[in-house]
Amino acid sequence: MTKTFASTTQAGWIAAMLIAHAALLPAQQIAIGGYPSPVAGAQPVSITAGPDGALWFTEEPDNTTSRGGIGRMTPAGVFTEYRLAYPENETGSIVAGPDGALWFTEYGANQIGRITTAGHVSAYLVPTANSGPGGLTVGPDGALWFTEGNANQIGRITTAGQVTEYPVPTAASGPGGIAAGPDHALWFTEFDANQIGRISTTGHVTEFPVPTAGSQPSAIAAGPDLALWFIEFNGNQIGRISTEGVVIEYPVPTPFCELADITAGPGALWFTELNGAKIGRITTAGVITEYPVPAPIIAAPGGIASGPNGSMWFTEQGPAIGIGQVVFETASLSASPDSAAYQADLNFTGGAFAPGEKVQIYSEGIGSAVLAGATADSGGSITATASVPHAPYGPRLFLAAGESSGKVAAASFTTLSKLVLTPDSGPVGATVTVQGYGFGSFDNVMLTWNNPRTFLGRVNADVNGNFSGFTFSVPAAPTGRNAVLGTDFVPGANAPFTVQ
């Protein structure tokens, strides 16, 4: 079964927003944004760029069906969800296959899954029972290679579904991440044995120890320097191993950050920190920079991949569930005010666009509904006005793109909560309708009368933090100005009501 959500329902940038506008390359800046997941409780795990220009990701079981899933999101923020048939299925890695489909591991079902860009799902059982398929990558031989953490094996599956398995020499080594190397071989991590393994396409395995004892290497990726780079979950380090097996380790500045994933990206390797709530960047010289991922509550970055629009894309787990984006800015944009509620007036200013080009400011990601448009002056500057669109509470980004230059800019902004009462005055006993905007995604909002303190009820917000249709009768209260309060896991809002 599929569920499709148009971008008009996606207010877009939940974790999203500014952060470090930190210089990476000359005249290049970074900003971080994200999109809230439209399926409550469906935790995104691994992510990859698909052949259709969208992002594809695996999901742990959601709150309603208890089934794992595969998600698809366009760069404009349009989500499509595909629930898998196997109950309580735990999905793992996902990659774009050589056959134009997406392939993924199904840990709970002991299968390798395949999904076309049209959403057709098929699956292939791994011969060894309870093998625990986890990491997955495309090999140099046109097949897909995967790790079997429970069976202590490396698996190979052709696009026709034929599976071959190869044992890892070290017993109970816990194979985890896997990546194709520059030497026509596959490289994998051994989480429990504290080793990095290499397997040829004919199945010959060589193993190399990681210097730091108990470091627990997990995800691994090929770097731009013809080496392999991996994360050490317990060692709190990034490791580099040459194809000759020489290992160098680099400590991550944030302690106990729980490194989750690593991949090659613009100019460096990029990694995620679950507990550190950061995106990290490490150069091939070992220089590390960390960028906080802002969120209303907690952002726990998981999988990460290069993707559309030249951005890095990552999954967000924990209370802030969604897909995040690292934007590399080549122009500038700011919003005034920098925080407001739904429908408030916004003024945008920007610069460094091409003189005379049209610039679009989007309500969500690039390609979504246009929030405002402008034409750059002779100096490349723009001004524009708009109203605050629907969005859940918290920091977010507005993206602008130049039509001819392709330059991209991001403005940081914080969406505030808002309550609207209809009517906003009347006698005791009058019926009042409450609408809410900009609360937390899927939060359960408590509504309270202020004087005397009276509980009115609870209402569930949608993905954008909005709700409508809640009614109550005005309780016994003093005449004059009173208020209704709306509170959840965010600061909330209040609306005045005059008792006549």
d(CA 302, CA 387): 33
Which pLDDT does position 29 carry in this prediction? 79
CA distances from 277 to 98, 247, 272, 294 (A): 33, 27, 8, 8
pLDDT value for 19: 34
pLDDT in tens, the chain (500 residues): 333 323 223 333 333 333 333 334 333 478 998 888 887 777 899 999 999 999 999 998 766 666 678 999 999 999 999 988 876 678 999 999 999 999 999 998 999 999 999 999 999 999 999 999 999 999 999 999 999 999 999 999 999 999 999 999 999 999 999 999 999 999 999 999 999 999 999 999 999 999 999 999 999 999 999 999 999 999 999 999 999 999 999 999 999 999 999 999 998 999 999 999 999 999 999 999 999 987 665 678 999 999 998 899 999 987 668 899 999 999 999 999 999 999 999 999 999 999 999 999 999 899 999 999 999 999 999 999 999 999 999 888 999 999 999 999 999 999 999 999 999 999 999 999 999 999 988 899 999 999 999 999 999 999 899 999 999 999 999 999 999 999 987 788 999 999 99
Q: Using CA atoms, how far apart are residues 230 and 220, in angstroms rounded to an integer?
A: 4
Cα separation of 277 and 44, whole Å?
A: 15
Q: What is the pLDDT of residue 275?
A: 93
Is residue 75 within 8 A of residue 364, CB to CB? The reply is no
Contact status, residue 336 vs residue 327, Cβ threshold 8 Å: no
Specify the domain boundaries for CATH 2.60.40.1930 within the chain. Answer: 332-415, 419-499
How high is the pLDDT of residue 66? 65
Q: What's the CA gap between 106 and 468, in Å, rounded?
A: 39
Q: Using CA atoms, how far apart are residues 143 and 108, in angstroms rounded to an integer?
A: 22
Tokens encoding 319: 């209370």
Q: Count of H helices and E strands in the chain?
A: 0, 45
* Core vs surface per residue 144-153: b (16+ CB within 10 A) or e: bbbbbbbbbb
Instruction: Centre a 10 Å sphere on the Cβ of residue 393 and count the other Cβ atoms it contains.
Output: 29
Helix (H) or strand (E) holding 456, with range, is: strand 454-460
CATH code given to domain 332-415: 2.60.40.1930
> What three-state secondary structure class fits 474?
coil
pLDDT at 61: 73
Helix, strand or coil, per DSSP, at residue 308: helix
- Domain 419-499: CATH superfamily is Macroglobulin (MG2) domain (2.60.40.1930)
Quote the CATH superfamily of domain 2-329: YVTN repeat-like/Quinoprotein amine dehydrogenase (2.130.10.10)
By three-state DSSP, how is residue 7 classified? helix
For the chain, state the CA radius of gyration: 25
Contact predicate 362/403, CB 8 Å: no
**What 3-state class would DSSP assign to 299?**
coil
Residue with tokens 């723009």: 382
Distance CA 313, CA 73 (A): 11
**C-alpha to C-alpha distance for 32 and 280, rounded to whole angstroms:** 12
Q: Are 250 and 210 in contact (CB under 8 A)?
A: no
The single residue listed with the structure tokens 């990491």 is 135
Local structure of 30: helix, strand or coil:
strand
Strands 111-115 and 55-59: unpaired
Output the six-digit token pair for 391: 């969005």
Residue with tokens 């629930």: 83
State the pLDDT at residue 63.
62
pTM of structure: 0.90
Give pairs for 124-127: CB < 8 Å, separation 24+: 124/157, 124/161, 124/163, 126/155, 126/163, 126/165, 127/163, 127/165
Cite the residue boundaries of each domain of the chain with CATH code 2.130.10.10: 2-329
Determine how many CB atoms are found less than 10 A away from the CB of residue 230: 30
Buried b (16+ CB within 10 A) or exposed e, 31-65: bbbbbbbbbeebbbbbbbbbebebbbbbbbbbeee
Task: Please provide the DSSP assignment of 68-112 as one string.
Answer: EEEEEE-TT--EEEEEEEEET--EEEEEE-TTSSEEEEETTTTEE
| Residue 385 buriedness (CB in 10 A; 0-12 / 13-18 / 19+) | exposed
CA distance 249 to 176: 19
Distance CA 41, CA 65 (A): 10
